Structure 1
Amino acid sequence: MTEQEQALKVLRDQIDSIDQQIHRLLNERAKCAQQVAEVKQKYQGEQDAVFYRPEREAQVLRRVMERNEGPLPDKEVARLFREIMSVCLALEKPMRVAFLGPEGTFTQQAALKHFGHSADSAPMNTLDQVFREVEAGAAHYGVVPIENSTEGMATHTLDLFKRFNLRICGELELPIHHHLLVKDSAEPVIKRIYAHQESFAQCRSWLEAHYPDVEHCFVNSNGEGAKRASEDPQSAAIAGEMAVELYQLDVLERNIEDQPDNSTRFLILSNQEVGPSGDDKTSILMCARDKPGALYSLLEPFHRHGISLTRIETRPAGQGGWSYMFYIDFEGHADEPAVQKVLEELESSSVELKLLGSYPKAVL
C-alpha cells in the first residue's frame, strides 16, 4: 500500500463504521414511528387516527437547522430529515397526495419537496379535481399553486376556496426554472410550443425575442405540454427538470424565465385543523359590501392588535349582495388571543368570513 492508500483506507473504514451507526439509528427511528402509529390507533381509533402532523414536522425541521454545525448546509440537512420522516410516516400510514397532473409538473415537484418521495402522489386533470379528491377523502392532502413572484396570485385557486370547505395545513415555496424542451435537439423544427398559460406569461420576453412567430398552444399543465411535445417532433414544450427524463426530451434552452428569481408559493390542502407550531400563518377569505372605508375597516383591527399582514388580494365576489372578496394572509395562529380578537371583530363587520386555516410558515 502507498501512503495515500493507507490514509484513504483509514478514512473509508471510519465512513463504513459511521454508516453502520446511521443505519442502526434509522431503523430505531422507524421502530419508534411504528409504535407512534400503534398508540394513535389505540387512543384515536383506526379510522380517526391522524398520522401526519404539519406543526410537529415543522418543529422537527426547525430544530434540525438550528442545531446543524456543518459542513452540510442547514437546508440540505433539513431535506435529508424530511425524506427520513417521509419514509417513517409511510410505515405508519401511506399518504396519498393529489396534485395537478400529469406527472412532471411543478406541482408534483412541490408535493415531493413537502411530503418526500415516500408519499403516493396522485395526478389530477384539473385543480377542481384536486379540491374534490381531498374534500371527499380520496386523497389525504392536495397541493395547489397560490401565487407566483412574477405573475401574482393564482385567481382560479382563490375561487375554488369559495366553493370547497377545505383547510390549509401547510405552505412551501419552489424556485421555478423553465426549460424549452424538444423531442430531438439535433435538428429542431419548432412550429408550436405547448405550456400552461402561466408559464407562457413567465417567459413572455424570452419567447418574443427567440420565437416571435411560433404558435402558443395552451394546455392544462406543463406536464401535459411535455407529453405532447414527446409525441410531436415539430413542437416544443416549456417545462421543468422533472419532465426531461420522464418524457425523454432534450433541453434546447435552459432557464428561459424572464425573472431569474422566479418562484411559486404552494398551499397544502386537507380536512384537518393544525395546532400551533410556534411560527405560523393564517389565511382567511372575507366578503364585504362596496361602501366607503370598506378596506380600512377590514385592515384596521390588524393594526390595532399588532398583527402583520403578509398578503392581501381583492377579487369580485360575483354573487348576491357581495361586492368584493378579500383573500388575506397574516402572521399568527387562530388559537392566539390577539388573532382570535381580530377574527371576532372581522366576523361581526363583514358579510361573510371563512377561516381557511392556520399552518406553519414554510421551513424549506
Structure 2
Amino acid sequence: MTLPVADQYNIEIGPITEANFNWLSARNYAGWVLFADENTVELCLPLIEEYLPEDTPVIVAPEGELNKNLETCQSLWEDLFTAGVGRRWCAICLGGGVLEDMSGFVASTYKRGIDFLQIPTTLLSMVDSSVGGKLGVDFNNLKNSIGVFNNPIAVWIDPRFLQTLSDREVRSGYGEIIKHGLIADVEQWNKIKELQDLTSVDWQTIIPASVNVKREIVLEDPFEKGRRKALNFGHTIGHAIESYWLESDRRLLHGEAIAAGMIMEAWLSTQQTGLTPQALAEITTYCLAVYGHQVVPPEAFDQLIALMQQDKKNEDHRINFTLLEAPGCARVNETADVELIRGAIEYYNGMDKLP
C-alpha cells in the first residue's frame, strides 16, 4: 500500500523488497550510509542486508531514550565524517522512534543536510514518529526539545519487523494507535477497544488506518500551527511522566506513559470540553486493561507540573492540552490550571483502588 504525503514523499506499507532499493539506486546518490542501533543491527538489518552494497557504512548508535541526546549526536556526526559521507549521500535510518528521531536530525544537520529515508522497526515508529518530519533529541530532561522539521525521501513500513519486538514494546507502540482513534477515527476506536490480546491483532489492517490518521493531519498542518496539535492528546501529562521515571528502575516506555496521560487528559476533558463520563470510563478501563497501573507518588506532583510548564507546546506561559469532546473529536489549545491538573493525576491514582 502506498500513502502519498502530498508531493513530498510516499509511505510504503508492505514487505521491503529489491524493488525498494532499485528505486533508491535510481536516485543516483554518491553513496548510502545506514544508521542502526544496538538491537536493530542484530535483529533487523539481516532482513534487508542483501539489498545493500557490501561497502555501505553502518553506524551503530546506543539504544534507548537515555541516549537520545546531543552527546550521542556528536558521536554520530563524527562517525559520518570518518566514513567519508558527503552531501550527495543518503542516510538509511533503520530503527525505532529514538533512532529515527535522532538519526534523522543528525542527517538533516550534517553538512547542512543530506537526504534520508526511514525504515521504522517498532510499532511506535511505524504509526507515529516516521510520519510527519519531526526530528530531534531530548535536552535538559525535556523530550524532543532540540530539533527540526524535515521530511524523509520515503518511509518503508514492513510489519515483519514487529516479530523482532517484545510484547511490551508492541504494547508501547499500540498507545499511539489508541490515540489516533480517540482524536480522529471513532470507527477505529470502536474496533480496537474490543481487542485485548495484541498477539492476535491483524497489523496489516490496523497499521494503515492509524498511519492514515496522522498522514491526513500532517498534510493539513505540517508545522503544528493548528490541527496537528491534536496529536498531542495524552502527551502533555504523559511526556512529563515519561521524563520523571526515565532514569529510575520503574521506567515507563513511551506508550505506557502516554496511556496514563490519556486517562488523565480524558478526565480533564470531562471537566472542560464535554467528554461524557461513559466515554471516560471506556477510555480508562481499556487503557488500564492493556497497560496496567503505576501510582504517581504525591511527592512527584510538583515536579510533573514543573515539567509540563516547560513543555514546548505551551503558549503564554499556560500549560497547553489537546482534549476530547467525544471519541473521534479533539479540541486543541485547551489550558488547565494547576489544581485541575492535580485532580487529573488524583483521578488516575484512584484507579489503583478499583477491584
Q: What TM-score, normalized to structure 1?
A: 0.29
More strand by share: 1
Higher helix fraction: Structure 1 or Structure 2?
2
Tell me which structure has the larger Cα radius of gyration: 1
Normalised by the size of structure 2, how large is the TM-score? 0.30
